[in-house]
Structure 1
Amino acid sequence: MERNPRGDKLQPGPASSTADQWTRVLAHRRKDAPTTVAAVIERFEAAGVTPDQVASHLEDGGDRLYAAAASAAEGWAAGFGGERAVALLAAEVSALMSHLVARAASVRSVCVEALLDEFSAVTVAGALGVARQKVYELARPSVDPAYLTTTPWRHHE
């Protein structure tokens, strides 16, 4: 065996590349431009945050980050990689939640449109607790196939 100090390189594992891991973890960003997603990944990597760390915080909806911040204990962010990492993780939890809000709104739109086929806007508005004018705004059905089919915290076998 030849020695090659400082010249040995680790070969990437065949099973799951880092790019594949980021794609899986950031699935809620499918609608974002590839350059935007690349910039997000770059910021995470610059802060030393791994795809598994991001996944962990998305799966708990930011609960651990919130609990630590609410504790106001000195240095609370250090356990998560510091303030920069926490700010990025919190922003990603927010991006996921925004995606889920849009997904839920699309489901509501489909239902409101269906209700308007059978009932007046006044009746639908009363049943849903919204203004009559809002009913027409809500009735724009669009279940985009780019929405996540399941939340990160729900695992299917």
Structure 2
Amino acid sequence: MKRKPRDDTGSADPPDTGDWQQVLAHRTAAADRSDAAARFRDAGLDPSEVDAVLRDGGDALFAAAAGPDPDWAEPFGGLKAAALLAAELSSLAAALNSRASGIRSAAVALLLEDYSAVSVARELGISRQKVYEVGRAGFKPPYVETVPWKRS
């Protein structure tokens, strides 16, 4: 990413909201996507910059933060932008974790139709009580449909 100098005049053309909707698709509520997009715009970031960080899983952001350069955040738009980007990575990770939990719950519920809770627990390496807890949680979309690195 290249640093975008801040200017007081603002941009003549706001970013396409459709781009933000796609980049922030892991946020299930439209209001959450709009609020996040507004924060990114205020920090001087556009959808392609946020998408680049999500697509690489934060690798470049992490490498910069872990490196010796005291101005590590500048290529990402500064410290505020870096903090927002890190928070968005966390939001994506939470969405993926939620999706994985739903899949696990659906699978465990079906396993319990054919096998005892003790057998399922032993095979999955969890307690019998946890088997019941996981199986009851359910598969409750909406979930993120595709990860950023699979988007066309």
Q: 2:87 — aligned with what?
A: 91
For the structure 1 residues 154 and 37, does the alpha-carbon distance in structure 2 shift closer, same or farther, using more than 3 Å as the test?
Answer: closer
Residues in 2 aligned to 1:61 and 1:142: alpha-carbon distance in whole angstroms? 25
Please list every run of 5 or more consecutive structure 2 residues that lacks an aligned counterpart in the other structure. Answer: 1-11
Residues in 2 aligned to 1:116 and 1:67: alpha-carbon distance in whole angstroms? 44
**How far is the alpha carbon of 1:69 from its aligned partner?**
0.5
Q: 1:5 — aligned with what?
A: none
For the structure 1 residues 117 and 43, does the alpha-carbon distance in structure 2 shift closer, same or farther, using more than 3 Å as the test?
Answer: same
Per-residue CA deviations over 1:40-89 (Å, capped at 9, x if unaligned) read 11111110011111111110111100011111312011111000000000
What TM-score results when the alignment is normalised by the length of structure 2? Answer: 0.85
| Contact in 2 for aligned 1:44/1:88 (Cα 8 Å) | yes
Q: In structure 1, which of residues 62, 69, 74 is the aligned counterpart of residue 70 of structure 2?
A: 74
| Contact in 1 for aligned 2:25/2:33 (Cα 8 Å) | no
For the structure 1 residues 11 and 127, does the alpha-carbon distance in structure 2 shift closer, same or farther, using more than 3 Å as the test?
Answer: closer
| Contact in 2 for aligned 1:107/1:143 (Cα 8 Å) | no
Q: What code does the residue aligned with 1:42 have?
A: A
What TM-score results when the alignment is normalised by the length of structure 1? Answer: 0.83
* 2:149 is equivalent to residue 150 of structure 1: no
Q: 1:22 — aligned with what?
A: 20
The structure that has the greater radius of gyration is 1
Please list every run of 5 or more consecutive structure 1 residues that lacks an aligned counterpart in the other structure. Answer: 1-9
Q: 1:113 — aligned with what?
A: 109
Q: What code does the residue aligned with 2:68 have?
A: A
| Contact in 2 for aligned 1:110/1:143 (Cα 8 Å) | no
| Contact in 2 for aligned 1:68/1:77 (Cα 8 Å) | yes
Q: Equivalent pairs: percent with the same residue?
A: 46
